[in-house]
Amino acid sequence: MDRFLLGQYIYGNSYVHRLDPRAKLLGTFAFIILIFLANNFWTYGVIVLFTLFAAYMTKISAKIYWQGLRPMLWLMIFTVTLQILFTSGGDIYLKWGIITISQYGIINSIFILVRLSTIIFMSTILTITTPPMLIADAFASLLKPLKKVKFPVDQFSMICSIALRFVPTLMETATKIMNAQRARGASFNDGNIIKRIKSIIPMLIPLLINSMKIAIDLAESMTARNYQLGEPRTQFRRLRWHKTDLYVLYYFAILTLLLIVLRRF
């Protein structure tokens, strides 16, 4: 539980940790777009190299990255298996009913595996070197151009901040509720089928009502402190850009050039 409360952030003093979170966020977004430029082994190789170099720069052990990859393993295996079994083209290695194992399917599954893995790696780099609240701040900051089309950026930003702030609170509340119900005989992971299904209700209803009470109390507190939607406000937490943050943009610019050149082979 404690590990979840802190998200995935791991304290460090590497160059990547000190980057402006907006630079890291832009880099991650750029990477996700760039990865679709990859179409052959050369381009996928370049993407893997760039990903590994970025991971190396964080100075965080490989074990942490494996932990980031592990929850996604089922999804990756599922997606790749579907690709292998149901894609046809090139040499056919096995044909059995609707199942086909082909050269094209295997190559495509390797590409999908690399694509998913590197996207997960880049996301992991972002989340282990940046606290969740800073990620939300960076995203809200990058949304500012949308004010031109009157997108409610401030409300969006406020909702993100409040949601992240209250995750630990609700987690603690949920734990207390579950323990209280256990003290009254509820069983969440053992006992017969009906009992376990019914145990969901006494857990969710108090959690729901508690959430709604917090929402009402919080709205009253914000109103009492003169918070007004849509009015200009100052910011206490500010993000500052430094020259070293430009290196991230150069990094992805080089990656773009390499991908554009190599994809023609």
Partner 1 sequence: MLSKFYTNLGGFMTIKDVTYTALFTALIIVLGVFPPISIAILPVPLVIQNFGVLLAAMILGPKRGTLSVFIFLVLVALGLPFLTGGRGGFGVFFGATSGYLIAWLGMPLVIGLVRRLFGQSDKWYATFASLIVGGISFADIIGSVGISLVSSIPYFKALSSNIVFLPGDLVKVVLTLIIYQRVKKHI
Residues 234-263 interacting with partner 1 (rule: CB under 8 A):
none
Q: Does 189 bind partner 1 (CB under 8 A)?
A: yes
Query: Using the rule CB under 8 A, which residue among 205, 253, 254, 260 binds partner 1?
Result: 205
Residues 6+ apart with CB under 8 A from 48: 114, 118
Helix (H) or strand (E) holding 197: helix 193-198
CA-closest candidate to residue 260, choices 40, 20, 100:
40
Q: Between residue 101 and residue 120, which ones bind partner 1 under the rule CB under 8 A?
A: 115-116, 119-120
Q: Say which DSSP state 228 is in.
A: -
Stretch that binds partner 1, among 40-48, 56-64, 125-133, 243-251 (CB under 8 A): 125-133
Q: Does 219 bind partner 1 (CB under 8 A)?
A: yes
The SS3 call for residue 14 is coil
Q: Does 83 bind partner 1 (CB under 8 A)?
A: yes
Closer of 194 and 264 to partner 1 (Cβ): 194
Assign residue 259 a region (left: φ > 0; alpha: ψ between -120 and 50; beta: otherwise): alpha
Number of residues located near partner 1, criterion CB under 8 A: 74
Four-residue CA torsion sign, 130, 251, 36, 142: positive
Least Å distance between CB 243 and partner 1?
25
Q: Between residue 36 and residue 65, which ones bind partner 1 under the rule CB under 8 A?
A: none
